[in-house]
């Protein structure tokens, strides 16, 4: 058996209790499931025991993918793609009421989350999202205004997702053992579109500019986005605030005005 590839974030789950705790977050029977980065199949085996109607796996590692294909040969509810998730047309293959889950490769987990937030159709076809992140990153995703981890990632995800539950996972639950604690987050998509932001990239751009210097007041950087008249349209915008002192709703409003230019 090949050794774990660090470059692909391969830390395999070995703790049955944690695997069950993750999968017990939802009823999987008769559901469509997509698993990102199945690895050796630690989660996959348990998902299959719960009798989903369809299970799609997306794994980048050629060798692991070949082993998975051998392991599950003849199982006709399974479809296995040997692909890089970041280049994979995830939105296209999703069927209604799908559950997306994965113990994500840490180095690209925020990119995977953003890839999903960029889905064109919203509310999306998936009903639930369960991802494992590094704890530090997970905290940045769940931290709402006004808290320490609040920033770009929570502003982006809070536009479209709500956190249902989260819990921590010790390094001892994996092999090889990662250096840091992990965090499971169960999200559900927000169904109502409150802000008229058509392209997530607008909000990505705006938060990127305004958070480019976290300690500085936004009075200068905001001029790269809006003119004086447009700035005046935004209620509750204090130009001497630092980026983390501004509520998510204000960022969403800035994005709306920027897109309507
Ligand atoms: N799900 C397995 C488990 O819990 O034991 C493995 C999780 S491991 C943290 C991440 C998995 O994602 C690895 O199998 C790795 O090869 C795969 N992976 C890494 N980069 C990927 C990518 N860009 N697209 C798809 N899979 C990827």
Asked if residue 1 belongs to a domain, the reply is no
pLDDT for the residue numbered 86: 98
DSSP-derived secondary structure letter, 17: H
Kindly state the tokens that stand for 246.
């501004």
Sign for the CA dihedral angle at 108, 110, 116, 119 comes to negative
Task: Tell me the percentage of the chain whose pLDDT exceeds 90.
Answer: 97
Choosing from 130, 161, 189, the residue where a domain stops is 189
Contacts of 1 (CB under 8 A, 6+ apart): none
The ligand 1 atom at the shortest distance from the C-alpha of residue 85 is 24
pLDDT of 258 > 80? The answer is yes
Per-residue pLDDT of 106-138, as tens digits, reads: 999 999 999 999 999 999 999 999 999 999 999
The ligand 1 atom at the shortest distance from the C-alpha of residue 102 is 1
Q: Write the burial class of residue 89 (CB in 10 Å: 0-12 exposed, 13-18 middle, 19+ buried).
A: exposed
Pocket probe for ligand 1: among 12, 37, 93, the residue whose CB has the most ligand atoms within 8 Å is: 37
> Three-state DSSP class for 76?
coil
Domain count, the chain: 2
Asked if residue 30 belongs to a domain, the reply is yes
Shared domain check, 168 and 122: yes
* Global confidence as pTM: 0.96
Per-residue pLDDT of 15-60, as tens digits, reads: 999 999 999 999 999 999 999 999 999 999 999 999 999 999 999 9
Q: How far is the CA of 72 from the centre of ligand 1 (A)?
A: 17
Choosing from 169, 189, 209, the residue where a domain stops is 189
- Domain containing 225 equals 200-259
Q: CA 151 to CA 146: how far, in whole Å? A: 10
Evaluate whether 82 touches 67 at the Cβ level (below 8 Å): no
Shared domain check, 224 and 140: no
pLDDT for the residue numbered 2: 72
Shared domain check, 23 and 71: yes
Asked if residue 194 belongs to a domain, the reply is no
């Amino acid at each position: 058996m090949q050794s774990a590839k660090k470059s692909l974030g391969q830390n395999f789950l070995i703790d049955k209790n944690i695997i069950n705790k993750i999968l017990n977050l939802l009823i999987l029977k008769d559901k469509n499931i997509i698993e990102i980065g199945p690895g050796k199949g630690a989660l996959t085996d348990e998902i299959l025991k719960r009798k989903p109607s369809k299970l799609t796996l997306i794994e980048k590692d050629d060798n692991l993918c070949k082993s998975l294909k051998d392991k599950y040969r003849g199982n006709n509810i399974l479809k296995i793609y040997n692909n890089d998730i970041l280049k994979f047309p995830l939105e296209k293959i999703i069927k209604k009421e799908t559950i997306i889950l994965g113990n994500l490769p840490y180095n690209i987990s925020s990119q995977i989350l953003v890839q999903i937030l960029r889905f064109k159709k919203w509310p999306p076809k998936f009903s639930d999202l369960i991802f494992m992140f590094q704890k530090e990153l997970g905290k940045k995703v769940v931290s709402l205004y006004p808290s320490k981890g609040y920033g770009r990632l929570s502003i982006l995800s809070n536009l479209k997702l709500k956190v249902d539950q989260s819990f921590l996972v010790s390094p001892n639950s994996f092999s090889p053992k990662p250096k840091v604690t992990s965090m499971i987050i169960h999200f559900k998509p927000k169904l109502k579109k409150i802000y008229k932001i058509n392209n997530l990239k607008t909000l990505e751009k705006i938060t990127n500019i305004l958070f480019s210097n976290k300690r500085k007041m936004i009075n200068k950087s905001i001029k790269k986005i809006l003119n004086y008249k447009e700035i005046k349209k935004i209620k509750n915008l204090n130009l001497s605030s630092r980026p983390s002192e501004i509520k998510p709703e204000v960022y969403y409003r800035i994005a709306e005005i920027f897109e309507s230019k």
